Amino acid sequence: MIRDEFGLPAPGDIRSVLAAAAAPQPGLKPLIDVFEFRFRPARDSTLRNMALGNLVLTAFAEVLGDFERAVEAVGRLFNCWAEVLPVPSSPATLCARLADGSVVHGEVAVRTPGKPSIAEVFLEPQDARVSPAVLQAIREADLLVLGPGGLYCSVLPGLLPNGVRQAVQVSRARTAYVCNTTTQPGQTDGFDTVSHVRELRRYLGEGRLDYVLLNTHVPASETIAAYRRDDVHYMPVTPEEVQRVKALGPIPIVGNFVEEGWQGKRTLHKLDTIRHDPRKVATALQSLIAEGEVRTGCPLGAA
């Protein structure tokens, strides 16, 4: 609705990143909960399930005249510990060509279960704007991290705008993919971790993926069963599968990367999955930056 009525990029993912990176003063912490609040009107409305933060970003963009400036302004308001940059910064629609040759338009259609499998994803228009700051950040980064998240609706779309993959190709950075722990209905039904890695390499470019974080910790059977009822299937990572990932080129970094103390599925706007623990993942990624010679070593169980 925001994309169609205001001519802005879909703000949902960037809103989530701003909320995750927020470090407000103690008195302003409730703002983050309000930012993530979703409307539940009694009657059907375009506001149903709309996050207030999406509307806040829209209002900032209208006042400041630019979506990038809106994201920057909210980042300052929330005292974000990270610089948050939108990709792309002009409206674009995610589309998918399916195995039967048909094409679907829009994220909801791309991730809808029951359709033929996804053959490829692309953006319309293909020349969606990418900020020079984004390309500069990619070229100057020490480590580029992709995932975890919906492969076709969150991870790969960031690589689709013109200039992004080219910037990755010339960047000095190493690249790491945090592979999902589960399949996602409508996107990766029947996939294993190798399928995820193979598909990412297809978009990222041959030989450009350096590391893959693979969770080898098996959650409790009740946890796996709870998600299976939603057609969200845990992807076990066997030693054979680790070697298959390695054969594709990247170094597998294996370990226990999932959340501890599972207390049941969360009620989310989108489907819940078995999630990574952010601190465990951060520790692994920081070690990749610290160990410039990691290709000759084996941190964190590199296989």
CATH code for the domain in which residue 195 is found: 3.40.50.10680
- To which residue do tokens 């407000």 refer? 24
pLDDT (mean) for 41-56:
90
In this prediction, residue 263 carries a pLDDT of: 87
Distance of alpha carbon 105 from alpha carbon 98, whole angstroms: 11
- Count of domains observed in the chain: 2
Shared-domain flag, residues 141 and 277: yes
| pLDDT confidence of residue 96 | 98
- 274 shares a domain with 163: yes
What average pLDDT does the segment 72-88 reach?
96
> For 44-65, what is the mean pLDDT?
93
Report the C-alpha gap between 178 and 149 in whole angstroms. Answer: 9
Q: Tokens representing 279? A: 């601190």
In a shared domain, residues 155 and 24: no
Q: What is the pLDDT of residue 292?
A: 58
Inter-axis angle of helices 52-64 and 67-77, nearest 10: 120
Do the domain assignments include residue 104? no
Order across the sheet with 103-105: list the strands.
Answer: 103-105, 93-98, 118-124
- At 297 the pLDDT is 34
Whether residues 190 and 263 share a domain: the answer is yes
Domain annotation covers residue 178: yes
Please indicate, yes or no, if residue 112 is contained in any of the structural domains.
no
Q: Tell me whether residue 21 is in a domain.
A: yes
- Determine, yes or no, domain membership for 221: yes
Residue 26, burial from CB neighbour count under 10 angstroms (0-12, 13-18, 19+): exposed
Looking at per-residue confidence, does 144 or 27 come out higher? 144
Q: What is the C-alpha to C-alpha distance for residues 271 and 289, in angstroms, rounded to an integer? A: 32
The full 3-state SS of 249-267, as one line of letters, equals: CCEEEEECCECCCCCCCCC
For residue range 17-47, what is the model confidence (pLDDT) as tens digits?
999 999 998 888 899 999 999 998 888 888 8
Supply the pLDDT for residue 303. Answer: 46
Contact in structure between 253 and 288 (CB atoms under 8 Å)? yes
Q: What percent of the chain has pLDDT over 90?
A: 82
Residue 170: phi and psi, rounded to 5, are -100, -5
**Token pair of 226 as six digits:** 């709870």
Helix (H) or strand (E) holding 239: helix 239-247
* Cβ-contact 121, 147 below 8 angstroms: no
197 has a pLDDT exceeding 90: yes
Residue 268 pLDDT level (bands cut at 50, 70, 90)? low
pLDDT band of 269, cuts 50, 70, 90: low
Q: What is the largest CA-CA distance in the chain?
A: 60
Residue 159 falls inside a structural domain: yes
SS3 56: helix
pLDDT digit string, tens, across residues 115-127: 999 999 999 998 9
Inform me whether the pLDDT recorded for 294 exceeds 80.
Answer: no
Whole-angstrom distance, CA of residue 122 vs CA of residue 105: 10
pLDDT band for position 266 (cuts 50, 70, 90): confident
Are 146 and 60 members of one domain?
Answer: no
Q: Which of 163, 143, 164 is nearest to 155 (CA)?
A: 164
Shortest CA distance to 89 belongs to which of 147, 148, 11? 11
List, in order, residues 6 or more apart from 117 with CB less than 8 Å away.
98, 99, 189, 190
- 139 and 59 in a single domain? The answer is no
Q: Is the pLDDT of residue 302 over 50?
A: no
Asked if residue 267 has pLDDT above 80, the reply is no
* Residue at which a domain ends, from 33, 55, 77: 77
**What range does the domain containing 249 cover?**
130-301
Phi and psi, residue 56, nearest 5°: -65, -45
List 255's β-bridge partners, or say none: 215
CA–CA separation, 266 vs 253, rounded Å? 28
SS3 25: coil
Contact indicator for 149, 272 with CB cutoff of 8 Å: no
Confidence (pLDDT) at 22: 96
pLDDT over threshold 60, residue 293: no
Within-domain flag for 167: yes
pLDDT at 179 exceeding the cut of 50: yes
The answer to whether residue 278 is domain-embedded is yes
Of 89, 66, 124, the C-alpha closest to 9 is: 89
